[in-house]
Amino acid sequence: MQGDPIIKVREMAFPRLSAPDLDAMEAFLIDFGMVRAHRTDETLYMRGVGPAPYVHVVERGEPGFIGFAFEAQTREDLERIAASEGFSAVEPLEAPGGGWRTRVTDPHGVAVEVVHGIAPAAPLGDSAPRPLNMGTKFERIGTVQRIKAGPSRIKRFGHLAMNVRDVKASIAWYRARFGILESDRINLAPGMPVAIFTRCDRGAEPADHHSILFASDMGSGGMPGLNHLSWEVCDIDDLLAGAEHLAAKKRAREWGIGRHLLGSQVFDYWRDPWGHIHEHWTDGDQLDASVPVGDHSIDVGAASQWGPNPPPTFGRTIAPQPR
C-alpha cells in the first residue's frame, strides 16, 4: 500500500530552458503567441494573455532543458515540502510577480521547483473562447465570426513530457513528493509500462488529463531528458490561426495538426531554434481524482484520432543542463 505523498501540487507553473541567444528565442516565442514579461542580460520571462505573470523562462547558456515548476496549493504545503530531504530552504523567487520557492533535483538531473505566492498580473486582453454555433448548441446569434491573422493566444503552461530510464520508478519518485495520479498507461506487456500520463490530484476538482507524461527513453537512444513542452491556447481558432502564422514565419513544424487519443486534445507541435518542441493544444480531457487509470497496449502509441502520425524525430531528447 502506498503511503501518503508529502504534498499534492495544484498545477504546473512554468518550464526553464537555456539557449545561447535570447533575442532569437524571444522572436520564436512571440511568433508562438507569447509576449515579453521581463528580461535581464541573462534571463527572459515570457507570458500569455492570462493572469500568470510568466509561463516560460529561458536562461542564457548552452541549449538545453533546465527544469520546471509546480504550484503548491498553500504556503503550508511549500514549507512542508521544503523541510523534506533534498529540498532547499524556502527562498524568494526573483521573477515577475515575486513569490517563494523551494528546489530539488530529480533522479535524472531535472531541476524541479515548487512555487507559491506569485502575484497575478493584469490579463492581456480577452482569453475567453470564441462563441461557436455547433450541432444543437448555438452561442453566436446575430453576430458574425471574424478571426484576425496573427499568433495564437497563449492561455497557460499546461504540461511537459520527459523521457526517463524507468517509467515506474520515476513516477514513484514524483508521486511520493507531489501526489501525482496516473491517468493512462501504455504497456509493452501487462505490468510493463513504456509511457504513463499523470495528472495533479485536486480531489473532486477536475484537473488536466496530464501534467507530466513519463515516456521510456528507449525511443531516444537511452538518453533521458525533455520530450516536449505544451501550452494551452484559448480555442481551436487560436491553434489554427497560430499554425498559419508560424508557417508564414517559416518556423519548423514537428507534428500536427491532429487530435490525440489519450488526453483528447487538438495539438500542433513546433521546434524552437535549438530543437526544443513546443506544443499548442486545446480541448483536452478534465478528470477528477475519482477517475481510475486506463491501461492500453503499446499499439495505441501516440496515435491521433485524426491527423498525421508522429514523425520519427518526435520526442527526441533535450538533455537536462546541470545547475
The CATH number given to whatever domain includes residue 252 is 3.10.180.10
Indicate whether 63 pLDDT > 90: yes
Q: How many alpha carbons lie under 13 Å from residue 159 in its C-beta half-sphere? A: 24
- Is there a domain that residue 262 lies in? yes
Say how far apart CA 137 and CA 231 lie, in whole Å.
27
Q: State the virtual CA torsion across 304, 307, 309, 311 in degrees, nearest 10.
A: -130
Q: What is the pTM of this model?
A: 0.94
**Cβ–Cβ < 8 Å for 313, 271:** no
Beta-ladder partners of 242: none
Asked whether residue 287 is domain-assigned, the answer is: yes
Rounded Cα–Cα distance for residues 2 and 314 (Å):
34
Contacts of 128 by beta carbon, 8 Å cutoff, 6+ apart: 234
Give tens-digit pLDDT for 37-48. 999 999 999 999
At residue 1, the pLDDT reads 41
Under the banding of pLDDT at 50, 70 and 90, the label for residue 219 is low
Q: Is residue 320 part of a domain?
A: no
Residue range of the domain that includes 82: 11-123+154-306
DSSP strands (E only) in 61-204: 64-71, 91-92, 100-105, 111-116, 133-134, 137-138, 154-164, 181-189, 192-199
pLDDT at 32: 98
- pLDDT mean over 147-163: 96
Predicted confidence (pLDDT) per residue in 238-289, tens digit: 999 999 999 999 999 999 999 999 999 999 999 999 999 999 999 999 999 9
Give a yes or no: residue 140 inside a domain.
Answer: no
Task: Give the Å distances, CA to CA, from 302 to 196, 255, 297, 308.
Answer: 11, 11, 11, 11
Total of domains in the chain: 1
